Amino acid sequence: MKPIYWRDAARRDLDDAAVWYGQQGGLPLETRFIAAVEATAGLVGEHPATGSTRHAHHVPGLPTALRFFPVGGFESYLLYYLDLPTHIEVLRVWNAARGLEALMEDAP
């Protein structure tokens, strides 16, 4: 299994979404969302090629193809990541309803 590194934007996405779920359904739903994101990241760490590269052209210039995988139980959220030689780098935990135009707008 490759180690998982989280970019700041991905951590912010996770925190913001978790707070929203907590407001909507309380601590159990917030906790379930966080666990689902972590489980998805673990799956990607074990099977990096499992994610789709369908959206890779939206973010050119990356060192490898951008991949995504839906968060189990919260399929409107997509975990965007790079499969690098030594680790997985999670770029965003993205709500697909936001569209792809803003996907990397605050990325360095």
Give 37-87 pLDDT, tens digit per residue: 999 999 999 999 999 999 888 777 888 999 999 999 998 999 999 999 999
To which H or E segment does residue 66 belong? strand 66-71
Measured over the CA atoms of residue 57, residue 10, residue 27 and residue 23, the dihedral's sign is negative
- The pTM score is 0.89
Where helices occur in the chain by DSSP H, the ranges are: 8-46
**Which residue, chain included where needed, has tokens 């789709």?**
52
Question: Closest by alpha carbon to 4, among 57, 33, 47, 65?
Answer: 47
